[in-house]
Amino acid sequence: MPRLLPSLLALALLAGAGAWSPAGAAAPDRLALAGGPLARAGEAVRSLLWIDLYRVTLYLPESRRPAPPLDQPDLAKAFRVEVLYDGDLPDRIPADWADKLLPALEPADRLRLKRSYRGLSAGDELLFSFFPGRGTLMEVDGRPVIATRDDRFMKAIVALFAGPDATSSQVREALLRSASPLLATQRDRAAGHAR
């Protein structure tokens, strides 16, 4: 029975199942980062079978409202992920996360990502931030883990949470809906063309 919840978590992350639900206290309204301040633009909680797994919060510059497309290379952005699940996490990064994130990293950074994942537990915070000219930084509980010079890793993060093939359509929809009516309109247009 103790192995059931980690298996359910792994299955949810692999299958992309989940539902949006408000959980606990909201993330900070603003982040003061080395590249500049960012304001909360969207938030969603990934849940499975009434168990909250994680909260993801999108941060953008206040001056860029309504928000342009998230994959725009000159757009500063950050995703804050708070682990909410208090059970045992799977030993390995879920396949749908690994498929998106690992190809965007150099081999040494892939190892750092895998090691960081193995040490995660409830209450831990991951911060993925990108600033043009500074690159992408991943922190775990305020400790820098990965720093890249370009936006490839951030593009993978955007794809993971807010891209057309995001791991959770409910999280994607909640982030895009709350981030900007413009993003939601662009999403709706793209969905219409895809039909």
Residue position matching structure tokens 């725009």:
72
Domain with residue 42: its CATH number is 3.50.70.10
How far is residue 64 from each of residues 132, 137, 145, 179, 190, measured CA to CA in Å? 14, 21, 28, 11, 21
Number of domains making up the chain: 1
Q: What is the pLDDT of residue 48?
A: 86
Which residues constitute the domain of residue 56?
23-194
**Has residue 75 been placed in a domain?**
yes
**Has residue 152 been placed in a domain?**
yes
Judged by DSSP in three states, 154 sits in helix
Tell me the pLDDT tens digit for each residue of 145-156.
999 999 999 999
**Has residue 135 been placed in a domain?**
yes
Q: What number of CA atoms fall less than 13 Å from residue 15's CA on the CB side?
A: 11
Does pLDDT of 183 surpass 70? no
**Has residue 39 been placed in a domain?**
yes
**Has residue 116 been placed in a domain?**
yes
The model's pTM is 0.79
What angle (nearest 5°) sits at the alpha carbon of residue 35, between those of residues 37 and 45? 55
Q: What is the pLDDT of residue 181?
A: 53
Nearest to 55 by CA among 170, 139, 181: 170
Tell me the pLDDT tens digit for each residue of 57-92.
999 998 766 667 888 888 999 999 999 999 888 889
